Structure 1
Amino acid sequence: MISGNGTNLQAIIDACATQEMPAKVAAVISNEPAAYGLQRARDAGISTHVINHRDFDRRTDFDERLKGLIDALEPGLVVLAGFMRILGFDLTEHFLGRMMNIHPSLLPDYPGLNTHARVLADG
């Protein structure tokens, strides 16, 4: 799952292609229709899906739609590779033990944007 440029996604794609990581990217999901990472996925022959969070009045409705799509894809592991939305408890609980977040801080400390700057500012 991505929200932006897809640099983490590209590293995953490259690692899978060289067998450095014995895995396959089943699909890429983004909450941002214009995320460049979607093109990276398409260039690698990976199916893409967009669920725009702005199309939902409630976060829980977005999470439910996301959960349904992920369940339909049946991945062994859900990887948040630069996914910039905080997911609700019910969604994360549903994928407990099958979800990994690539984030520069141990959540819930320093969530969101500018993580490194906030950590450094706090000393």
Structure 2
Amino acid sequence: MPLKIAILASGGGTNAQAMIDKAAAGILDVDIRLILSNRPGAGVLERARKAGLPHLALDHTRFPDREAYDRQLIAALRESGAELIVLAGYMRLLTSAFLEAFAGRVINIHPALLPSFPGVHGGADAQAYGVKISGCTVHFVEEKVDSGPVIIQAAVPVEAGEDLDSLMNRIHGL
């Protein structure tokens, strides 16, 4: 039986698209119950629409505070029936109430090899540092940013003179 997941993303949705494609090909045994973005114009919502998947824009700027937003987020995710929450370029910190509501069931895709280069600009920070190998980490989410236990990592060599867009495209292709 496929794992019921919800994907949270804030931008274009390249990681979400990879999951959509792998699920459609039968490689990833998941049932995508909801794709949710905190930004109404995010490209990930169009990707979800094209794939015929349930999607929702929940604009965080329309809430008085982070806690109020996360309460609505929790309600939407519970209603979807998702068993696992996947952060795929979701650019918001989650409250402790959110993490308690889905304890042990929130994972993140981070574009660097953790524990090195945590944070919003992990891939860019790794490249600026001059690493010869970069990659991607999937980890459980805890309250501290990019600190949870690692589930899996994949590495890619950084090519001499490679620009950030090229490196990030190769990391996203993992």
Flag whether TM exceeds 0.5 (same fold). yes
State the partner residue of 2:122.
115
What SS does the corresponding residue of 1:25 show, helix, strand or coil?
Answer: strand
**Structure 1 outlier segments of 4+, above 3 Å:** 119-123
Q: Which runs of 5+ in 2 are unaligned?
A: 1-7, 131-174
Paired AA for residue 101 in structure 1: N
Deviation at 1:122, TM superposition (A): 5.6
State the partner residue of 1:52.
59
Q: Choose between structure 1 and 2 for higher RCO, CA contacts under 8 A separated by at least 6 residues.
A: 1
Distance 2:118 2:57 in 1: 26
Tell which structure's C-alpha radius of gyration is larger.
2
State the partner residue of 2:19.
12
Distance 2:124 2:21 in 1: 29
Paired AA for residue 97 in structure 2: D
State the partner residue of 2:171.
none
The equivalences for 1:25-64 within 5 A come to: 25-64=32-71
TM-score, normalization: structure 2?
0.64
Distance 2:27 2:110 in 1: 21
Distance 1:96 1:72 in 2: 17
- Of Structure 1 and Structure 2, the greater helix share is in 1
Distance 1:111 1:93 in 2: 21
Distance 2:63 2:74 in 1: 14
Q: How many residues align?
A: 122
RMSD: 1.9
Identity in percent: 37
TM-score, normalization: structure 1?
0.89
Distance 2:110 2:33 in 1: 21
